Chain A
Amino acid sequence: MLEIRNLHAANDGNEILKGINLTVRKGEVHAIMGPNGSGKSTLAKVLAGHPQYEVTAGEVLYEGKNLLEMPPDERAREGVFMAFQYPIEVPGVSNAQFLRLAYNEKRKHHGEEELDPLEFKDLLKERAKVVEMDASFMSRSVNEGFSGGEKKRNEILQMAVLEPKLAVLDETDSGLDIDALRVVAGGVNQLLTPDNAIIVVTHYQRLLNYIVPHYVHVLAGGRIAREGGKELALELEEKGYDWITSVDGGKGTGAGAPAN
């Protein structure tokens, strides 16, 4: 589904991603962890097509197509979804309006009938259950005045409505209280099918108890410094990142035993 090869990306001429390789297949859950500033959000935004980042080398294939050539809106309509680490507020536009517009744009793109407001209302009601989101949020402006946790939950509501093939969740767990984390993670699990894939960016093993990853990748200094199964997350929880960054020196071989 997704094949990232030797991806380099820069912001304002500063190289942040320094050769990422990552393969994601249908039905898989990948976790990306790594210290602050290691480039996790940068990777997510590059996949979503944020104009601020310049890809300086490498390629990204999404369902066999060159993802980097598609404008961001087309990527979204083709099924790529990024849940923002810091969701944006859109004053004056209600959640329901926004979601219906986004939903219908995708339907049109795939040659399907648009839903009218009433039909969409039913659909939205259904999908809101996935994240246990109160109906009162639908008439409020997108993210405006939402608490940090509510914004994160709203991101997953959008995911539930848009049903992406590839979802990149950038620290969706940060800011969620314990109960909310359970609900939101449960929602994400409901959305996971054999036909789609999820990349979760997180700092905490706790989330991975709910959304169990097939692979864990550790990003450090713009490279993947280590890869493993879900046990790797437990190990990181225990030991921190020092042992990885010091052993690999940020070279990103992706192998090697923990030094200790």
Chain B
Amino acid sequence: MVTELVKSENHYLTAFRELVPTMPWLELVRSGAIDRFEQLGFPTVRDEEFKYTNLASLAKERFQPATRAVEVIADVERFAYPETAGAHLVVVNGFLSEELSTRTGLDDVVAIDLFSAVADARYNKIARKYLARNANYHDNGLKALNTAFLQSGVFLWIPKNVKLETPLQITFVSDASSAKSASFPRLLVVAEENSSATLIESFVSNDDASHFTNAIAEIVLKDGARLEHYRLQNENRSSYHVGATAAELGRASSYDATSINFGAQLARHDVSVVMDHEGAECWVDGLYVAGANQHSDTHSVIDHKQPNCTSHQLYKGILDGNARAVFNGKIFVREGAQKTDAMQTNKNLLLSAQARVDTKPQLEIYADDVKCAHGAAVGQIDEEELFYLEARGLNPELGRSLLTYGFAEEVIGKIKIESIRAQLDEAVLTHLHTRLEA
């Protein structure tokens, strides 16, 4: 078994050796990362963090790291949310496509290929300072693998005091023109002092072919910066998706993140927020919807290191069929982080007898003057609520759908971009094979 795993991971090493060498700084990072991957491999269920998420089949499938080949995605605008009004970057199999991207309204920010930012004299200081800083690959084989294959990606730099009016969308498309491809999207966002922006990351598949996405987004908010961040994962049902979002928050900054997971046969999202400066506030919300044999895992870490920071977390899950979900939410309140206000809720709705969720909120508090609360719930459709709807003429199936929709609405309703909201409402209901207009 072990030898088989090692063998299946070997082809990543082979593919790595075939990469064209680039600038020394990056070579150093990448070779360090591949060495780490060689030692760690894919996480196994023996790893506490992957206790309920078995990556054995992912390791076995021998996905091939994608190369920069595809530049044609028909009608790529169909992935764009209208509110972005032309602020749309398209990343195909991990590579930023200049042909497919449009930059309307982005004059005040820098939104370029991450790989070139590292080499560009204007941005390399910032890029090098923050790249691989928050998404640490030393103890995680998946992050190491992404870092080893860093060949493109997106660098988004929002200068001091710049307020981006329209939301910026980055669509990460997986395209099967090279079969069974593995892609390693990478995003680095640096929002300087008192800047503000809305960012949409959207992960989609261009076809039904099985693929493997291993994505990392690193986010740095300087003092007073504000970022509203939507991460939408709706890849096809035969794909594997692992992703990490790692944010560090400056003094009095505000990070409002919503992660939506609908897609992939196996999805894993690690989200971490480090609050190492006073007065920062974050919302780390999410919704996972899984049916059939889907597996959806969210691990979050919110780290209160300094006093007077506030974190709000609401994650909801809807599970049907044989779906399996995992929610693991850690909140640390470090010594001296007085006046911390941390609130975490995870609620799950099981629509079938076979669906299953493992939820584990964890609170570790080393300060005494704090306000912390957390809770987790797993439930079914409430029979009294259902009867109420039936008593108004809704058939039981429609009643169930409406209650499910209502359950999701607590997360979806907070989304400030109308077209995302509408799409998700629709998706929740079609996922459940029913409809509800308006």
Q: A residues engaging B (CB < 8 A)?
A: 48-51, 71-73, 75-77, 81-82, 84, 87-93, 97-98, 100-102, 105-106, 109, 116-117, 141, 158, 162
Contact = CB atoms under 8 A, between A and B. Distances in A.
A102 B392 contact: yes
Nearest to A105: B393
Given A51-B387, A97-B436, A117-B437, A91 B406 contact: yes
B161 interface: no
A109 B393 CA distance: 9
Most buried by B among A51, A71, A98, A141: A98
Given A90-B403, A93-B402, A77 B393 contact: yes
B164 interface: no
Interface string B235-249: 000000000000000
List 3 tightest A-B contacts by C-beta distance, closest first: A92-B406, A92-B409, A76-B393
Contacts of A49: 390-391
A101 B436 contact: yes
B47 interface: no
B388 A84 contact: yes
A91 B393 contact: no
A73 B393 contact: yes
Interface in B387-406: 387-396, 398-399, 402-403, 405-406
Contact of A90 (B385, B393, B413): B385
9 contacts: A72-B391, A73-B393, A73-B396, A76-B390, A82-B391, A84-B391, A89-B385, A91-B409, A117-B437
B18 interface: no
A87 B388 CA distance: 8
Nearest to B409: A92
B408 interface: yes
A158 B390 contact: no
Given A88-B385, A100-B438, A117-B438, A106 B405 contact: no
Nearest to A72: B390
B395 A73 contact: yes
A92 B407 contact: yes
Given A73-B399, A76-B392, 6 more contacts: A75-B391, A76-B393, A91-B410, A92-B408, A92-B410, A105-B394
Nearest to A100: B438
B348 to A, nearest CB: 15
A90 B390 contact: no
Residue among B384, B385, B387, B403 having the largest count of chain A Cβ atoms under 10 Å: B387
Q: In terms of DSSP, what is the predominant structure of the interface of chain B?
A: helix
A93 B412 CA distance: 12
Contacts of A48: 391
Pick the most buried of A71, A101, A105: most chain B CB atoms within 10 A of its CB.
A101
A153 to B, nearest CB: 16
A90 B400 CA distance: 11
B384 to A, nearest CB: 6
Contacts of A105: 393-395, 398
B392 A158 contact: yes
Contacts of A81: 391
A248 B299 CA distance: 67
B438 to A, nearest CB: 4
Interface string B356-395: 0000000000000000000000000001110111111111
A102 B394 contact: yes
Nearest to A158: B392
Contacts of B405: 92-93
A71 B390 contact: yes
Given A72-B387, A88-B385, A90-B388, A102 B393 contact: yes
A1 B433 CA distance: 38
A81 B393 CA distance: 9
A48 B387 CA distance: 9
B385 to A, nearest CB: 5
Contacts of A76: 390-393
Q: Report which residue of A72, A81, A89, A97 has the largest number of chain B beta carbons within 10 angstroms of its beta carbon.
A: A72
- Tell me which of B384, B394, B405 has the highest count of chain A C-beta atoms within 10 A of its own C-beta: B394
Interface centre among B392, B395, B399, B409 (most CB of A within 10 A): B392
Contacts of A75: 391
Q: Which of B383, B390, B393, B396 has the most CB of A within 10 A?
A: B393
Contact of B402 (A82, A89, A98): A98
B413 A92 contact: yes
Given A92-B408, A92-B410, A101-B402, A73 B385 contact: no
Contacts of B407: 91-92
Given A91-B409, A97-B438, A162 B402 contact: no
A67 to B, nearest CB: 13
Q: Which one of A75, A84, A88 has the highest number of Cβ atoms from chain B below 10 Å of its Cβ?
A: A88
B32 to A, nearest CB: 47
Q: Which of A75, A77, A90, A141 has the most CB of B within 10 A?
A: A90
A87 B385 CA distance: 9
A87 B387 CA distance: 11
Given A87-B388, A92-B413, A101 B406 contact: no
A146 to B, nearest CB: 14
A100 to B, nearest CB: 7
A231 B17 CA distance: 97
Contacts of A117: 437-438
Given A51-B383, A97-B438, A98-B402, A73 B388 contact: no
